Each structure stands twice: as structure tokens, then as C-alpha cells.
């Protein structure tokens, strides 16, 4: 099974939609999680119509900020459990003897609100004890070497993030390719 998670930073222009269509054709994911769609549910339905996914849960944007969407192929037995402006949590039941959990997560970008991200993640952790994949943009880094720029990242937020991942039993899967793929200090990783 292939999963694609993308912080698209808005699907309000045709170029972004074209990039999304190209990614879906090239990677052929069974499940697609989108963050920062900046689209309403109606607008996401229009985008969905041009993609091969018949199933979707969209969390609308608020004043053109945020917005999440989880899209999946019909043959995937996916059951959404909960969702907020910052997450979509689902069970994958294709193998009934080995169900697993997928959470699409978008952390609060505002430094003063990050504690809400960690509280939500800890709460989600308590809901099930099956294998868990968290596709995300936590809007936080684990280590200072994950940041470019002159000003160093304060240690306390990174330590709180690491403590939350440890408490939730999540492990960074790492990445392949160029390390710095984001703008303005926002990036994402996958954790299981």
C-alpha cells in the first residue's frame, strides 16, 4: 500500500492542482493526505473529481487558512474515527487480522500553540493500541541540524516534541532526498 502525505500550502491555483495530479499519477498512492489545502469542502470535491479517489473526508479551511483532506481508493477499507482542524484519524481494515491506524496530522504552526499539538497527539495515542502510522507536518523539528539559517532553534520546543513522540511510541522513519524541502521553517516527517 502506498501513502502520499503532502503539505500543499494551498490548492487555490491551477498550478498547485496540476502538481497534485502529477504526483498522484507518478506515485499512484492508495491513500492521499493533504494539509493546508486552504479549500472548502465544495472546492475539495471539485479537486477530487479530477483524481482517481472516490472516497474523501475533507476538513474545511477557516478564512483561507488550514484545511485537511484524506482521499482513498474504494478498495481500501478505511474507517475515519475522529477529525479536527489538525488531524484525521482512521483505521485501515483490509486485513481484518492485522488492522492498523493512520493519522494525518497538522501541528499548530504558531509557537505559542504547539502545546495543543502535543496534547492532541498524546490523546490520539490513548485511543488504540494497534500499529500506528502518523503522516504529518508537526511544524516542529527534532534536532537543530534540521534547520537552516542564522538563528538557532531554542532547545525547549524540540525537547517537548521529542518527549511527546517518546510518550506516544512514535519513531521518525527518516527520509530520502534533499533534507530542506520546505519554506519559512515549516517541514514534515513521517512517524510510526
- Give the whole-angstrom CA distance, residue 24 versus residue 181: 19
Domain boundaries in the chain? Answer: 1-76, 77-192
> Which pLDDT belongs to residue 5?
94
> Which pLDDT belongs to residue 189?
46
> Which pLDDT belongs to residue 154?
76
> Which pLDDT belongs to residue 17?
95
Look at domain 77-192 and name its CATH class: alpha beta
> Which pLDDT belongs to residue 117?
95
CA terminus-to-terminus distance, the chain: 15
Long-range contacts at 98-103 (CB < 8 A, ≥ 24 apart): 98/131, 99/130, 100/130, 100/131, 100/132, 100/133, 101/128, 101/130, 101/131, 101/132, 101/133, 102/3, 102/31, 102/33, 102/78, 102/132, 102/133, 102/134, 102/135, 103/132, 103/133, 103/134, 103/135, 103/136
> Going residue by residue through the chain (192 aa), what tens digit of pLDDT does each one get?
999 999 998 999 999 999 999 999 999 999 999 999 999 999 999 999 999 999 999 999 888 789 999 999 999 999 999 999 999 999 999 988 999 999 999 999 888 999 999 999 999 999 989 999 999 899 888 776 666 667 777 788 889 999 999 999 999 887 776 665 555 544 444 444
> Which pLDDT belongs to residue 184?
52
> Which pLDDT belongs to residue 191?
44
Amino acid at each position: 500500500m502506498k501513502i502520499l502525505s503532502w503539505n500543499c500550502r494551498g490548492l487555490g491555483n491551477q498550478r498547485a492542482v496540476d502538481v497534485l495530479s502529477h504526483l498522484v499519477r507518478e506515485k499512484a498512492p492508495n491513500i492521499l493526505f493533504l494539509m493546508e489545502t486552504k479549500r472548502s469542502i465544495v472546492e475539495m470535491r471539485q479537486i477530487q473529481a479530477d483524481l482517481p479517489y472516490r472516497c474523501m473526508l475533507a476538513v474545511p479551511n477557516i478564512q483561507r487558512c488550514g484545511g485537511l483532506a484524506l482521499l482513498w481508493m474504494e478498495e481500501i477499507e478505511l474507517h475515519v474515527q475522529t477529525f479536527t482542524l489538525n488531524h484525521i484519524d482512521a483505521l485501515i481494515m483490509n486485513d481484518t487480522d492485522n488492522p492498523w491506524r493512520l493519522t494525518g496530522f497538522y501541528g499548530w504552526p504558531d509557537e505559542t500553540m504547539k502545546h495543543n499539538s502535543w496534547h492532541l497527539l498524546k490523546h490520539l495515542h490513548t485511543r488504540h493500541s494497534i500499529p500506528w502510522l502518523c503522516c504529518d507536518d508537526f511544524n516542529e523539528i527534532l534536532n537543530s541540524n534540521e534547520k537552516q539559517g542564522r538563528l538557532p532553534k531554542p532547545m525547549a520546543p524540540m525537547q517537548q516534541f521529542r518527549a511527546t513522540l517518546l510518550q506516544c511510541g512514535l519513531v521518525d522513519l527518516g527520509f530520502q532526498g534533499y533534507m530542506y524541502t520546505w519554506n519559512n521553517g515549516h517541514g514534515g516527517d513521517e512517524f510510526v
